[in-house]
Amino acid sequence: MSKKSVPAYPRYARTTQGLGERLRLARLRRRISATEMAERVGVSRGTLHSLERGDLTVGLGVLVRALGVLGLDDDLDLLAKEDALGHRLQDARMPRPRRVAR
């Protein structure tokens, strides 16, 4: 039985395609062939090609390993680091301190 894939919103598709292109360019700047990159990441060339196209069916583990091979794994620490909306929502739900009667 095959998995059903949910189509991505166009905005997310563009974002992942851009990420894939940046990964491909990073690989090329480092003069790593697709075959060598795939071997170092531990995937097939087809899976690497899918990652570089921004295919959302490629697993997160593949992305993490690819970033590691490229020396870009520190960039993972930047994802969702500044969650301003989340902090505002959390602060809005915090109980306000009671005033002490004098």
- Helix ranges (H only) for 1-102 are 10-29, 34-41, 45-53, 60-70, 84-93
**Has residue 1 been placed in a domain?**
no
What pLDDT does 4 receive? 65
Q: For 43-56, what is each residue's pLDDT tens digit?
A: 999 999 999 999 98
Q: What is the CATH number of the domain that holds 40?
A: 1.10.260.40
pLDDT of residue 88: 84
Per-residue pLDDT band for 5 (boundaries 50, 70, 90) equals: low
Range of the domain at 46: 10-93
CA dist 41 and 12 (Å) reads 24
Dist CA 94 CA 89 (whole Å): 9
Number of domains in the chain: 1
The whole-angstrom separation of Cα 93 and Cα 95 is 6
Nearest to 13 by CA among 69, 77, 52, 56: 56
Q: What is the pTM of this model?
A: 0.76
